[in-house]
Amino acid sequence: MTTPEHLLTDRAKCVDCSGVRRAFQLGATLDDPINLSIGQPDFEVPEPIRRAAIEAIEQGRNGYTLTGGADDLRAAVSAHLRKDPGWRIGEGDLELLITSGTSGGLFLAFLVLCEPGCEAIVPDPYFVIYPALGPMTGATIVTCDTYPDFRMTAERVEPLITERTRVVLVNSPANPTGVVLRDDELRDLAELCQSRGIMLISDEIYDLFTYSNGLGDAGTCPSPARWTENMLLLRGFGKTYGCTGWRMGYAAGPSWLISEMAKFQQYSFVCAPSMAQAGLVGAFDIDMSDVVNAFERRRDLVKETFAGIANVSDCAGAFYGFVEVPEHLGITGTEFCEHAIKHNVVVIPGDVFSDRDTHIRISFACPDEKLKVGLEILADMMLPAREPTLGS
Ligand code: PMP
């Protein structure tokens, strides 16, 4: 009898998540590791949101919602988008879709826009899902090398554009680098895409986590949506309100695109989880500034700890620092992470997010005390004096 594997599509075989699995396995052997690898917030979901979700379940909001999302949440998101970035959903040509996480929005967008023979430009380093969107939809993923400053600028994207390019995907604040692009950089990228008839997709899942040095002219997270409505804006609730498992996000953009994404949502995810939608109706009214300020202090700690020891990305947002393994150690990001495990600290090697293996990603979504100890251990490992002990 043949093994069932012969049934698998090339599409399935082409998606490789070994890097991510390897990163999780690295820490799995430790009892009480200092875990700086997790990309999810360490704060509680705000009480009013939890209460609203529980009440929704108890009051019977357990059935399907409309494909595009429940009316009350759609109204809340529309009101929010009117303030930031100033979009008027339902007026003119702009539409909105409540999605199953930001990943849901990404997947639907690629299903609608990409097919074999076309190309999509994504940053390198990238969020792990981005390269997989290629095999899943047939598109060729073209990576835009953003080293060493990790800025996906129009100058870097322009030479990669061909007549097959359909999509440019930008992520700011970025995972895994925390870099936040400036207003003018995003405007130039928007203008470039517009002039070439390419859809710009902006993954802004970390928009709330923009620290004082990353804020744009409007005093909020810079977005290309301030310059054009001819793009797809993807945002989420998971990171912002600490509810990544609720699988909640939204997509906004031109109605011709959103209606096609809604069609595929209807035949796949059907709708975002009903009780989570109900829970998040009042979310935009909750003041999250204490959380953001606490994360900014942690970001400062990351910068301070590695100052003079290693190059750290200009993390003005999200909750990651991308730290270069000092050249004098003569080892890769993966090798450094293996050594870190021996010191009870879990971080992710850069090659999980990149074609290169020169960095490590540190998540500071971790309680202050543990973070402090973990950072000191990592910085100590990077000092020249420690070099001889690394091989032990
Ligand atoms: N985009 C980026 C840049 C991310 O880091 C993540 C989550 N780590 C996602 C999208 C997916 O978010 P969600 O959990 O809402 O699907």
**pLDDT digit string (tens) for the chain, length 392 residues:** 667 788 999 898 888 877 777 777 777 778 889 999 988 899 999 999 999 999 999 999 999 999 999 999 999 999 999 999 999 998 889 999 999 999 999 999 999 999 999 999 999 999 999 999 999 999 999 999 999 999 999 999 999 999 999 999 999 999 999 999 999 999 999 999 999 999 999 999 999 999 999 999 989 999 999 999 999 999 999 999 999 999 999 999 999 999 999 999 999 999 999 999 999 999 999 999 999 999 999 999 999 999 999 999 999 999 999 999 999 999 999 999 999 999 999 999 999 999 999 999 999 999 999 999 999 999 999 998 644 455 44
Residue 20's pLDDT is: 75
The confidence score (pLDDT) of residue 320 equals 98
Q: Which residues contact 6 (CB under 8 A, 6 or more apart)?
A: none
pLDDT for position 1: 60
All structural domains of the chain: 4-45+288-382 (3.90.1150.10), 47-285 (3.40.640.10)
Q: Rounded to the nearest 5 degrees, what angle is found at the Cα of 59, between the Cα atoms of 56 and 65?
A: 55
Instruction: Spell 358-388 as b/e; 16+ CB within 10 A means b.
Output: bbbbbbbbbeeebbeebbeebbebbeeeeee
> What is the per-residue pLDDT for 392?
43
Q: Which of 40, 102, 150, 250 to mutate to test the pocket of ligand 1 (most atoms within 8 A of CB)?
A: 102
Reported pTM: 0.96
Ligand 1 and 238: CB distance under 6 A? yes
Cα-based distances in Å from 2 to 5, 6, 7, 12, 13: 8, 7, 10, 18, 17
Three-state secondary-structure class, residue 86: coil
User: How many angstroms separate the first and last alpha carbons of the chain?
Assistant: 48
Exposed/middle/buried for residue 303 (C-beta within 10 Å: 0-12, 13-18, 19+): middle
**Residue 92, pLDDT score:** 87
Nearest CA to ligand 1 atom 12: 102
Contact present, 33 and 345 (Cβ < 8 Å): yes
- Which residue puts its alpha carbon closest to atom 8 of ligand 1? 39
pLDDT at 280: 98
> Does ligand 1 come within 6 angstroms of the Cβ of 39?
yes
pLDDT of res. 2: 66
Tokens 């800025």 belong to residue: 151
Could you give phi then psi for residue 90, rounded to 5 degrees? Answer: 90, -15
Alpha helices, H only, the chain = 10-14, 18-28, 47-58, 71-83, 101-113, 129-137, 154-157, 183-196, 255-266, 274-279, 289-306, 333-342, 368-382
| CA dist., res. 174 & res. 205, Å (int) | 9
Q: What pLDDT is stored for residue 390 in this prediction?
A: 54
Q: Of the residues 108, 172, 175, which should be mutated to test ligand 1's pocket, given the most ligand atoms within 8 Å of the CB?
A: 175
Return the pLDDT at 379: 98
Quote the ligand 1 centre to 39 CA distance (angstroms). 9
